[in-house]
Structures are given as structure tokens and as C-alpha cells.
Amino acid sequence: MLLCPLDYRYGRKEIKTIFSEENRLLTQLKIEAALARAHAKLGNIPKESAMEITKKADLKYVSNERVKQIEAETKHDVMSVVKALSEQCGEAGKYVHLGATSNDIIDTASAVQIKEALDLLDKDLDKLIATLAKMAKKHRKTLMVGRTHGQFAIPTTFGFKIAGYLSEVMRHKERLAEMRSRICVGKMSGAIGTGAALGPKVLEIQDMVMADLGLGVEEAATQIVCRDRYAELVSFLAITCTSCERYSTEIRNLQRSEIMEVAEAFDAKKQVGSSTMAQKRNPVISENICGLSRIVRAFVTPALEDMVLWHERDLTNSSAERFILPHVMVLSDEILVKMEQVFSGLVVYEKNMLRNIESANGMIMAEPVMMALVSKGIGRQDAHEIVRSSSMKAEETGKSFKDMLLKDKQVAKLIKKEELEKVMDPRNYIGVAPELTDKVVEKAKIVLNKK
């Protein structure tokens, strides 16, 4: 019986494989093998024994079924793996897990999984960056109205809006790179982290194992890798996914029937928008991203609470992390992939963007008019009041903002109709939006070329 939606609805095979039950066991077996090899290199155990342990540290020899069978008796997950591996290794089995504690295996296995998952997420970010850069460049001068408080503000360009998203995603890529060394960390220092059972060469053993696995070392472990690392990871993923929710929310708003400036791609031949309202073309992927992002954010609190353990450790974090790590990694990948799909297929209705600008009846050009009056010698506050009162009159009478301005004696005296029309042309009031967009796009090229 399938219960979790990750099993039947969400998540790509690539990342779900990393956090699968089978791969979890295989990763733990690899770590036991790496420990045996480190012992052998230092002369602590026979090389032949390490070779045998390495050979048998594979799902061909150690099955999930056998591990579960032993766990049903021992009530201990890691000891079940140790016993299942040991019984396959013959005489060499006595060296399995030598000097280690459970979380040497558990936390190091988690670090390996996280490392592999972050590699996928990094590629997801690259693909999203490339798609956003292409869209920003294409629409660097595509005129649209900017909105604040849900109201018309002043003109902007669609490319500049996308450039803002692009810049944010590139920051997420920077964050991922910066935190890798803090997150992808394991330990091989035994109970309480002192390394006593591993002997005088414990630091060499730990360095060898982590180098073998491509991981960093927890400098001063308790019995576990310190959970501020996991809290940082989950917080990073929550921030990244919340950014995607922000973009998706904007797309959903801009796809509203009365706005309709952009829309998700829709397969008109096959796709169904509603089971009863057959005309519907809903932004379902963007809505899905928003919903899943909330789930990722919800794991931040338990990840923070898992930092607070009794003394050198307790088990209150263990059960929570079995949910947290797979879910946040799988869902983050799902969200980033879907976000790229939304943008790569996004339909941009430039004519509707112009239509909505025109529907403002000139009101969105209040600021440039104010600035033009200031340039003619009127004080800024006085100019503001002239523009404000004219806009109120236009609102009340239903006449154009421009007509109300021309009826104002001060405006008529200082600005001719032709000049006012030029001032009120939205194309002349997008500032350096295209140039700023170009800069962000160029930065994206540099970021992607560093790969």
C-alpha cells in the first residue's frame, strides 16, 4: 500500500533513487567498507579482511530483507546492517564496524546522499538560470505596467521583471556553492566523538574515510554531526523554494482573466482545465509549485528543533530526519524542475500588456509628469499636489489624466500639449531597465560558463 505522495505522484526518479531504502543501505555498506580499508592501510586489520568486507558490502550479498529480519530481533537499525554484513564476510566479519558508533555510519551516509542530491539541484539551478536569461534578454524592452499594492504603478519591462528573478536564482546558486563544505560533512570518531575506540590513529582513519567518500570532516563531533548543518541545508532549500513560489504567484496573478499578460503553456488538443468548466486554462503547475513550497518550508521548524539534543546526543532528531531530508530534497528538485518548465513554456501576451497600460487612462504617468513640472521650476511638493488633484478629477469624471492636466493653469502655462504627450509616453519612462537587464544576463553567462 502506497501512502506518501512521493511514492506515486511527486519526485523524479534520479533524486528519489538517492534517498531510496535500497540506496540508503548500499551507502551505509560503502561506508563500512571505507572504514575497513582505512583500518587496513594503517595496519589495524588484515588487508585481505578489508578486501572481503569491501566485496561483500553490496546489495548482492546484504539484502534489505535480511537487515529487516535482524532488526526485528535486535531493535537496532545500524547493528542490523553490521550483523547482515558480518555474516557474509566469514572470518573478516569480526572487523566490520570496528571502533565506530551508529552515527558514524548514519550521518556519513546522509552526507553522501546530500552531496549527490545537491549535485542534481545545482544542475536544476543552472537550467533555470539559462531559461530565465534567455527570456530576460528577449523581453528586455517589452513594455508592461509595474504594480505595487496590486495597483498600477509606473511602466517597466517584462525582461526587467524576469531579470530580478534571474538575479535571485543566481544568489541561490552562490549559496549552494558556499554551504557545500559545511553541509557535506561526515564523521568517523566513535561514541561521543572522542575517537577512543578507534585508537591513536583515529584522525588518520577519519580523514581517510572522508577523503574516500569525497566529504569534509566534522571538526568536533558529539556523537553526531552537528545539526546546525542540516538546519542550514533545510533553510536554504526553503528559501529557494519560496523564491519559486514568488515567481509562480506572479505568474498566477498575471494569468488572471482580467489581466492575462502571461500564461502557462497549455496543450489545446489534449489538456483539460476543469472537469466541468471546459473553457478553463488554469495555471496548475504554478499552483502546484506554491503548494509544494509550503511543505518544504514546513520542515524548517523541525530541522531547527533537531539542533537541540540532550548532552552529546539523544534520538529525538532521528525519526524526524527520516522525513525531513528525503522530503525537502526530493520536493526541492521537483519544484526547480517544474519552475524551469513553466518559464520555458510561458506564453507572453505583449498586446495585452499594452492594453492594460492604455486602460490606466494615463494615470501610470503621474510620476514623470511630476518630474517634468519640477524641471520647469515648480517645487516638488507643489508639483505632487497638481498631479494628485488632476488624477482625482480624472478618476471622478472618467476623462483622461492628460486632459485634466491640460486644464490646470500652471501645467498649461509650463508644458505644451506635444511636450506633455511625450512625457506621458510609457516607452519614454522605463529608465535603465533594459540596461540593468543586460547586466544581469551577462552575469548569468559568466555564472554558467564557470561550470
In the three-class reduction of DSSP (H, G, I as helix; E, B as strand; rest coil), residue 369 is classed as: helix
Q: What pLDDT score was predicted for residue 140? A: 98
434 located within any domain: no
343 located within any domain: yes
User: Nearest to residue 332, comparing CAs of 6, 55, 3, 78?
Assistant: 6
Segment 286-294 shows an average pLDDT of 98
CA distance 436 to 89: 63
CA distance 296 to 196: 39
Rounded (10°) CA dihedral 42, 46, 50, 53:
-150
Whether 242 has a pLDDT exceeding 90, the answer reads: yes
Q: CATH code at 412? A: 1.10.40.30
Segment 136-160 shows an average pLDDT of 97
In the three-class reduction of DSSP (H, G, I as helix; E, B as strand; rest coil), residue 143 is classed as: strand
334, 355, 376 - which closes a domain: 355
Locate 114 and state its grid cell: 546530500
Any idea what DSSP says for residue 58?
Answer: S
Overall number of domains in the chain: 3
Examine the residue annotation and report whether 243 is marked as an active-site residue of this protein.
Answer: no
Any idea what DSSP says for residue 139?
Answer: T
135 located within any domain: yes
Shared domain for 113 and 208, answered yes or no, is yes
Segment 404-419 shows an average pLDDT of 89
Q: Among 149, 257, 275, 311, which one carries the catalytic annotation?
A: 149
User: Nearest to residue 175, comparing CAs of 327, 65, 332, 49?
Assistant: 332
**pLDDT, mean over the chain:** 94
**pLDDT tens digits, residue range 51-108?**
999 999 999 999 999 999 999 999 999 999 999 999 999 999 999 999 999 999 999 9
For the ranges 169-178, 308-317, 333-342, which has the lowest average pLDDT? 308-317
CA distance 93 to 77: 18
Residue type, 332: S
Segment 365-379 shows an average pLDDT of 92
Shared domain for 161 and 286, answered yes or no, is yes
Shared domain for 160 and 238, answered yes or no, is yes
Rounded (10°) CA dihedral 3, 71, 26, 325:
50
Any idea what DSSP says for residue 217?
Answer: E
Q: CATH code at 65? A: 1.10.275.10
> Looking at the chain, how many residues does it have?
451
| Bridge partner list, 186 | 217
440 φ/ψ angles, rounded to the nearest 5 degrees: -65, -40
**DSSP strand pairing (185-186 vs 216-217):** parallel
Q: What pLDDT score was predicted for residue 273? A: 63
430 located within any domain: no
Shared domain for 122 and 262, answered yes or no, is yes
Q: How many CB atoms within 10 Å of residue 64?
A: 15
**pLDDT tens digits, residue range 320-333?**
999 999 999 999 99
Whether 278 has a pLDDT exceeding 70, the answer reads: no
Locate 353 and state its grid cell: 500588456
Shared domain for 156 and 304, answered yes or no, is yes
Any idea what DSSP says for residue 309?
Answer: -
Locate 102 and state its grid cell: 551508529
Q: Among 76, 181, 274, 359, which one carries the catalytic annotation?
A: 274
**Which pLDDT band holds residue 279 (cuts at 50, 70, 90)?**
low
Q: What pLDDT score was predicted for residue 2? A: 84
Q: What pLDDT score was predicted for residue 409? A: 87
Higher pLDDT, 278 or 308: 308
Shared domain for 75 and 202, answered yes or no, is no
**Which pLDDT band holds residue 277 (cuts at 50, 70, 90)?**
low
For the ranges 2-11, 96-105, 233-242, which has the lowest average pLDDT? 2-11
Whether 226 has a pLDDT exceeding 70, the answer reads: yes
Where does residue 320 rank: exposed (0-12), middle (13-18), buried (19+ CB within 10 A)? Answer: middle
Whether 414 has a pLDDT exceeding 80, the answer reads: yes
Where does residue 332 rank: exposed (0-12), middle (13-18), buried (19+ CB within 10 A)? Answer: buried
Examine the residue annotation and report whether 274 is marked as an active-site residue of this protein.
Answer: yes
Shared domain for 86 and 147, answered yes or no, is no
**Residues of the domain holding 45:** 19-95
Segment 157-177 shows an average pLDDT of 98
> Cell match 486644464: residue?
407
Segments in 139-266 forming alpha helices (H)? 158-183, 202-213, 228-254
For the ranges 18-32, 112-126, 387-401, which has the lowest average pLDDT? 387-401
Segment 218-241 shows an average pLDDT of 96
**Which pLDDT band holds residue 158 (cuts at 50, 70, 90)?**
very high
Q: What pLDDT score was predicted for residue 436? A: 98
Where does residue 199 fall: left (phi above 0), alpha (psi -120 to 50 degrees), or beta otherwise?
left
Q: What pLDDT score was predicted for residue 335? A: 98
Shared domain for 83 and 193, answered yes or no, is no
